[in-house]
Chains A and B, each alone.
Chain A
Amino acid sequence: AQKVTQAQTEISVVEKEDVTLDCVYETRDTTYYLFWYKQPPSGELVFLIRRNSFDEQNEISGRYSWNFQKSTSSFNFTITASQVVDSAVYFCALSEGGSSNTGKLIFGQGTTLQVKP
């Protein structure tokens, strides 16, 4: 069965600190996709990134970076020089791939990040 675990329920940092959100996943599929979504206090879900299981290259987008390691089944998310606007709930998610890809997402429990001024 597929499963996503975000062990950090809540994280609190002071502005300008770096912070890493952990995500560990379980799947038997050889082809799969990993995602991160952001849910700000306003409640909408904002897509941040999608990676496929064959691409382990780290990705950087501005202050955001993602570290995908198949050896440890992890897909961690780092925010560099955090800002108050980064305060949100962050979800990691997994979907199956291959010919049976229906796009169904399995979500982790979410990590609430609070960035204090």
Chain B
Amino acid sequence: DAGITQSPRHKVTETGTPVTLRCHQTENHRYMYWYRQDPGHGLRLIHYSYGVKDTDKGEVSDGYSVSRSKTEDFLLTLESATSSQTSVYFCAIGTPLQETQYFGPGTRLLVL
């Protein structure tokens, strides 16, 4: 299994508070991704990174920011959480030639 961990695994927070989710990899891969999973939508890309300090937006980036200061860590921040951001968040890493992506275990976020 690819070495990907996510923290926290579960979080409950209140509307308006900032939240940061962490993705950590031990594979030294260049590409990392954040997706959210919602019923009826499958997974949708929030942001992705193609190297340290190199990031770009995905399909559903509004209300989210990301940072990557080290190859192994990719952080997703909800600046001011809203109930619509209640979801399961998955981090993924891309293999060197983009043959596929391997996913972390997911983080369940509930915004009250």
Contact = CB atoms under 8 A, between A and B. Distances in A.
Interface of A: 4, 6, 33, 35, 37, 43-45, 47, 50, 91, 93, 95, 101-110
A109 B94 CA distance: 21
16 contacts: A33-B98, A37-B103, A43-B105, A44-B103, A44-B106, A45-B103, A45-B106, A91-B43, A104-B33, A105-B33, A105-B35, A105-B101, A107-B43, A107-B44, A108-B42, A109-B41
Nearest first, the 7 A-B pairs at minimum CB distance are A107-B42, A45-B103, A103-B98, A103-B94, A107-B43, A109-B42, A50-B100
Contacts of B102: 47
Nearest to B99: A50
Nearest to A109: B42
Contacts of B105: 43-44
Nearest to A43: B106
A108 B42 CA distance: 6
Interface extent on B, as a size class?
20 to 34
Contacts of A43: 88, 105-106
Nearest to B94: A103
A106 B58 CA distance: 10
B50 interface: yes
Contacts of B88: 43
Given A45-B90, A95-B98, A105 B45 contact: yes
A47 B100 contact: yes
B74 interface: no
Contacts of B48: 102-104
Nearest to A39: B37
